[in-house]
Every structure is written in C-alpha cells, then in structure tokens.
Chain A
Amino acid sequence: VCAWHPCPSTETALGSSDNLEHRRKDRQVRLAAFGINSILYQRGIYPPETFTRVTHYDLSLLLTTDPKLKSYLTNVVSQLKEWLFECTVQKLVLVITCLETNEVLERWQFDIECDKSAKESSAPREKSIKTIQHEIRSVIRQITATVTFLPLLETPCAFDLLVYTDKDLVVPDKWEESGPQTIDQPEEVRLHSFTTSIHKVNSMVAYKKTESA
C-alpha cells in the first residue's frame, strides 16, 4: 500500500476550500517526500537496490522499500503536513552525518515562506498536472545535478530530518528539540527556488569542504 495517495474521504467530507487546501498540502508534502527519497538515493545513504520505481503524475519516481525508513518518513511527513497547514514551519533540513567521526558532512536546507494571509483567501485555482510534473521534475533534476559537484561520501553515513518551527507551538510526543547541526566552515550552494500557490520554497545545500592535498 503506497502511503502517498490522498485520503479519498477527505476529498468528499470537507468543504471545497478545505479540500483544496488539503490537496495542496498533500502535493507539497509529497514533493518533499520525493525530494528526500531522491537525495537518499543519489547520495548513496541507502543501497540503490532498496529503491523501487513508482509512477505518480505520469512520472517514474524512485521510492524506498526499506520498511523502517518508510515508517520513519511517514511519521515525519504526516506531522509536517499538519504543521504546513498551520503555517508554522520555517525550514526543513536533511542532515547527513558520518558515523565514524560524528561530523555533519552535508546539509540540505529548504526554507519555506508561508503567506499566512493567503491561507483562505486564495482563488480555488486547480493546478494542472503539467505544472505539478514540472515542479517535481525541477526539484529532482536539481538534486541530481548537485551530485556532480558534491564530494563523495566514502564513510558509512546516516541521515536525519530537522524541522524549524515557530517557538510557541506544542512539541508532539515523539519529537524532541535538537541542535541546528550546522557544518563547520561549509561550502554553500543555492538551488533554484520554486513556488506553489501559497508557499515559496528556497533550497540550498551546504557541504563540508574536503581536505584536498
């Protein structure tokens, strides 16, 4: 059972604007999930044979089959969807840590600017499948392109997802506060930003400079 399809019940039960909102959030959250999967595949955090091709929006995309990873991502993504709806998310960060030295080697940061006033008042404009495809393709293309200049990850690594939220929101059960996990003297590369109907997402990747002789 794929975890990414929207609940059909929500589409019929809720009103039109809420319904659209939910669908928008679903899309954005799915975009984030595709992006994360793509990064994990491209950087080799998990072996490539654990990824399978899935068709969404007439595109062939890679998703992981590792059950632990899947459950982790589902947890994070569902919570993220809630927070996106409340517009309390500021950033989503994917941190890649080296297991031997416990240093942060790479940091993928997505700044989310939420237009809070446009939450309810935005016109109920349906996004065509082409624009959705374009968004997903641009995100994945950028991630694939960064692999050309990012340094190789030769040591065993693990990743973590951090969410920057407003201070005043209640921390849910399974979540805890963590440090920003920044890189010491990083190289930063800004990626192309893209906009959805109410969010503007700026993305960048920071990586630790390799000590080249």
Chain B
Amino acid sequence: MDLEDDTTILTTLKSFNSFISRPEHPQRLSEHSAGSGILQSQYKRSMELLEAAERVHSKNRYLQLDQEKKQMELSHKRARFELERAASDSARDLEHEVDRNQELLGQIKKLEERAEEVNKKLTEQKEANDALQKNLEGLNKTLEERDDKLGTANQTIRSLKDEIRELRQKIQNQDSKMSAQTLENQELQEKIDLQQRKYQEVSQLCQSLQAAQSSCSDHIIKIKELERRLVFQEQDFAIVKTVKSEVARVPDLEKELKRLRDDNAYLRESRENCSLLKEEVEGLRKKLERMEKTKEELINMELEKEVKVWARSQSELRAELTQQHSKTLEEQKKREAQDALVRRLQKRVLLLTKERDGMRAILESYDSELAPTEYSPQLSKRLREAEDILLKTQSHNAEMEVCLQACINILFFFALLNSVCACIFFLRQKIEDLERERQRLEEQNNILEMRLERHNLQGDYDPVKTRVLHLKMNPTAIAKQERQQEVEALRQEVTRLRDLVRSLQSGGAVGHSQDDTHNPSFSLSLAPSKEVLDLRKQMESSELRNQRLKEVFQRKIQEFRTVCYVLTGYQIDITTENQYRLTSVYAEHMDDSLLFKKGSNGSMQLMETEFSKTLGEMVALHLHHQKSIPAFLSAVTLDLFSRQTTV
C-alpha cells in the first residue's frame, strides 16, 4: 500500500511538478526526464526517507488537498466553464465589437475620405477662388494697364497732333524760307552776273591799259632811241662841224692869208686904224651883249611856250601822246633851230676867233715887228678880255643849252611819268577792288552751293522746279490705318472689359453661375485656367444633375400624388408645416376639405373646417370611437361617392 501510495504520490508529485512547471518551462520536462534519472533515484530515496517521515502528516494533507483540489477542480471547472462561456460570450461580443469596430473604422475611413475629399474640394474651391480672384486682379491690372496705355496713347495722339501742327508750321516756315532763299539766290546770281560783266569790262580795261602801258613803254623806248640818235647826231654834227670847220678853214685860211697879207699891207699902211679897231671891238662887245640878251629872250620865250604847251598837255593822256610827238617834233625843230643858231653863233664865233687870231697874229707881228708902244698892250689886254668874255659867253651858252635840254627832258619825262603813273595807279586800285569783290562773291557762291548741296542731300528741293510724289495707297499709310483700327478695337475692348469687371465686382460673391448667365462672353475674353474650367464643368455637371434630379423628383412626386389621388380618392396637400389638407375626388364643392395636423408626438389630428362640421357623425364614430383615420376617410369617400352617384 505504501508503494502504491508512493507511486500514486509520486505520480501525483510528478503531475504536480509538471503542472507547476508546465506554464513556465514546458521544455524542462524533457530535460528533467532525461538527465534527472539519477537525481530522481536519489531524490526518490530521499523522498522515500522523507516521505516515510511525513507520510502520516501528509496523508491527511494530501487527502485534504485532494479534496480541496477536487473541489478546486470542480470549482475551477465550473469557473472555467463559466469563464469559457463568458469568454465565448466576450469573444462573440469581441467579434461583434470588432466587426462594429471595423464597420466604424470603415465608416470613419469613408467619412475621412469624404472629409478629405470635401477638404480637397474646399481647398480646390479655395484655390479656384484664389485663382479667380487673382485672375480678377490680373484682369483689373490689365484693364488698368490698358487704361494707362489708352491714356498714354491719347497723350501721344495729342502730342503727335501738336507735333503735326508744329511740323506743318515748320514746313510752312521752311517753305517761306526756301522761297526767300531762292529769291536771294536769284538776286545773288544776278549780282554775280553783274560782277562778272564788270569783271569782264575791267579785264578789258586792264587789257587796254596793258596795251597802253606797252605802247607807252614802246614810246619811251622810241624816245630813248631818238635821244640816243640825237646824241649821235649831235656827235656827228660836232664831228661834221669840226670837219667842216676844218674843211672850211682851209680856204678861209688861205683867204685869210691872202687877206691878212693884204691887210697887213693895208694895216702897215695905216696904224691909225687902231682906233677904228677899238671901236670895232666895242661894237663887237655890244653885239655880243645884244646877242646874249636875244638868246636869253629867245630861250625864255621858248621855255614859256614849252611850259604852256606842257601845261596844256598834262590834262589828257592821249593828247599827250600826240603832243609828245608834236613836242618831240617841235623840240626837234627847236633844237634844229637852236642848233642852227648855235651853229651860226659858233660859226660867227669861229669867225670872230679867227679874226681875233688873225688880229692877234697881226698884232703880235706888229708887236714883234714894232717896238712895244702904249697901245698894243692895251689892245692886247682888251683883246684878251674880249676873248675871255667870248669864252665865258660860249661856256655860259653851252651850259645854258645843257640846262635847257636837261630841263626840257626832265619836265617832259616827269609829266609823262606822272600822268601815266597816276593812271596806272588808279587802274590798279580799281582792279584790286574788283578782284577782292570777285573773291568775296566767289566765296559766297561756294558757301551757298555747299548749303544747297547739303540741303539736296538731306532731301530738300526747290518747289519751283521739283515735286515729290508718292502713291496714295502706300505701305506706310496702310500701316497707319491698320494701327488706327487696332487702337480703336483695343479701346472698345477696354471699355467692354471695364464694364465686365464692374459687373463682376458688384455681383462676384453671389456665384459663378450668375456670371455665366449674365455674361456668356466672360469665359471668352478671359484666359481661363484649367482648374477653373474643370471646376466650372463640375459645377455645371452637378447643377445639371441637380436639375435632372429635381425634375425626376417632381415627376415622381407628381406621379405618386396622382396615383394616391386616384387610388385613395384624396388629394393631400401640405398647406403649412405639419398641416395636411385632404380634398376628396367626389367633393361636392371645391373648397370642401379636411385638415389634419401632425402633433408633437407624431399622431394626426383632425382640424375643424367647414366640411368637417358636416361630418360630425363620422368623426365621432370613426375617430373618437374607432380611432382609425383610414376608416374615417374611407367612410367619407363612400358617403360622398354615394351622394354623387345618386345626384
């Protein structure tokens, strides 16, 4: 029994151990079973020893424990059962809850999605709104810009008009200036012509002057030649004279010899002729003096004549030339006369000298032959004095002649030179002045020509001679027209946009549909963004859907109502909130109707009407007694129907 108890105890111990160790270490069982064989035997032995001591103590305990265990187990079982039941219930509940949870989660998700969608739609709507507002602002800005542009265009147009006016005025001014300039030009050209003619005349004068000068020089040369010839002639004359004299001397000498011899013979005969000789000498002296005077007078007269002649000739150049000739001729004549005179005088002088010499010789011979007396030295002295005087007069004569010649020449040449120089000077000055004017005019002409060329380069023209033409339909005119049209179109568009914007700003908050209905062109003139377009489409589609739904509902409701009316025989109208008016199909009068009101608790109550007053019995029966509204209504219908058919 103990062994059995031991075994049972052991088994229970094992089971207990296993029970203890199962939830914590289910794996250790196997280890215990394998490696703990030896230990178990030892343990068994110890335990057996221990158990032998504790058997008695523990038996009760074990039995108690068993009982308790059994009770515990029973209670456990019950608890477990109940727990299981509870667990199953709770599981079921859990499942339910889980399902519900899931449903709720699903709903939540859906709601969240919807919320997101709605949010998105909201944001999109907001964005659309913002975009639309931005568009509006942009439109406003563009409108303002276009206004500004129009303003500036107007200003430019005004300024251009002013410019056009100014340009026209400038053109007029320039035209007038041009005409004035052309006139000036003509005048200048005329002046130039005049000056050219003058220049030609002056050049002709110059040429004539030059010819005159050349002729003058020729004349001067001729005069010089004549002078030289005169000089040569004089020299020739002198030579001829000397030769002639020499030639003439010989016979004279011979004659004189003869004469002297005769005279000698005669003089020898008479010494008393000395006084006669004296007287003759005195007579000779007087003659000489007279000759001098006459010569001087002649000379003076001739000088005066010539001076007068020169004075007359100084006024004219041409007359001077002829006068020159005449003068030269006169001079020549005078000179010839003078020469003749001189020759005569010289001849006379020679004769006299010869006479003197002869006399001297005679006297000398006398002196030599005779003794020196008182008379001969006096005679000789007087002779010598006479000779000296003769010589002096001769020299004086010669000097006078030379001076005369020189004076004549000098006067002549001075006069000529003066006149010629004066003329030349005067003409030269004229030429210089004309040259200067010519140069000035040439410079002016050049400047004017340059100016004309410049103007020509720039495109100016002489309206008297040229015309500027162009086609009426030229590209610039066409382009300007097109531009005008564009500007007009822009202006019109701007005014239209302004009106649109104003209308938008005033009725913008109400809704886009209004805009679409009022201004169908709104979407055309703007550049709508894609989002706005999509939103609009969505809106339109939703509105359409709404419309259709409304229509459908209306139709359905109408159908239903008619069906109700037909089937039940009553037309039910909702007059006010919770009040229903029923009109029967068989009503005798139009306004025979029943009025029902829905109470706060949901029940229908009949209201007092004219018609309902006539149905007091039925009301009492069906409503108060039977508490059935359908019965009442059908009773009323039957009643009315019966009345109708009978009537």
Contacts and interface: CB of A to CB of B under 8 A. Distances in A.
A150 to B, nearest CB: 17
Contacts of A161: 470-471, 474
Contact of B468 (A101, A111, A164): A164
Interface string B487-528: 000000000000000000000000000000000000000000
Given A99-B480, A102-B160, A158-B479, A180 B468 contact: yes
Interface size class of A (residues with CB under 8 A): 35 or more
A134 interface: no
A181 B163 CA distance: 14
Contact of A167 (B160, B466, B478): B466
Given A109-B457, A204-B457, A163 B475 contact: no
Interface in B153-190: 156, 160, 163, 171
B466 A90 contact: yes
A167 B463 contact: yes
Shortest 3 CB-CB distances between A and B: which pairs?
A158-B479, A158-B476, A160-B476
A99 B470 contact: no
A93 B479 contact: no
A177 interface: yes
A206 B473 contact: no
A176 B476 contact: no
B646 interface: no
B460 interface: yes
A159 B468 contact: no
B480 A166 contact: no
Interface string A165-208: 11101010011111111110010101000000000000010100
A181 B459 contact: yes
Contacts of A181: 459
Interface in A66-107: 68-69, 72, 75-76, 90-91, 93, 95, 97, 99-102, 107
A174 B469 CA distance: 10
A169 B468 CA distance: 11
B466 A178 contact: no
A174 B479 CA distance: 18
B472 A175 contact: yes
Contacts of A93: 459, 468
A205 to B, nearest CB: 11
B470 A165 contact: no
Contacts of B458: 182-183, 186, 188, 206
B271 interface: no
Contacts of A72: 471, 473-475
A32 interface: no
Given A72-B475, A166-B467, A177-B467, 19 more contacts: A76-B471, A90-B461, A90-B466, A91-B459, A97-B476, A99-B480, A100-B156, A107-B459, A109-B457, A111-B456, A159-B476, A161-B470, A167-B463, A171-B469, A175-B470, A177-B469, A182-B458, A182-B460, A206-B459
B483 A99 contact: yes
Contacts of A175: 469-472
A163 B476 contact: no
A179 B461 CA distance: 10
B472 A174 contact: yes
A68 B475 CA distance: 9
Nearest to A45: B475
A162 interface: yes
Interface of B: 156, 160, 163, 171, 456-461, 463-480, 483
B157 to A, nearest CB: 10
A163 B468 contact: yes
A179 B473 CA distance: 15
B467 A165 contact: yes
Contacts of B472: 174-176
B468 A177 contact: yes
Nearest to A76: B471
B475 A174 contact: no
13 contacts: A72-B474, A93-B468, A97-B476, A99-B483, A101-B156, A101-B160, A156-B479, A158-B476, A158-B478, A165-B469, A169-B467, A177-B467, A182-B459
B469 A176 contact: yes
B316 to A, nearest CB: 54
Contacts of B470: 160-163, 175-176, 178
B253 to A, nearest CB: 97
A158 B478 CA distance: 9
Contact of A109 (B163, B459, B477): B459
A188 B457 contact: yes
A163 B467 CA distance: 8
Contacts of A109: 457, 459
A102 B474 CA distance: 15
Interface string A7-27: 000000000000000000000
Nearest to A172: B469
Nearest to B462: A167
B479 A180 contact: no
Contact of A180 (B459, B475, B480): B459
Interface in A99-154: 99-102, 107, 109, 111
A124 B171 CA distance: 46
A190 B479 CA distance: 29
Contacts of B479: 99, 156, 158
B471 A167 contact: no
Contacts of A102: 160, 163, 480
A75 B469 CA distance: 13
A89 B465 CA distance: 12
Contacts of A190: 457
Contacts of A163: 468-470
A164 B469 CA distance: 6
Contacts of B475: 68-69, 72, 158-160
Nearest to A46: B475
Nearest to A186: B458
Nearest to B465: A167
Contact of A206 (B160, B457, B463): B457
A165 B469 CA distance: 7
A36 to B, nearest CB: 11
B385 to A, nearest CB: 101
A96 to B, nearest CB: 9
Contacts of A159: 475-476
B188 to A, nearest CB: 22
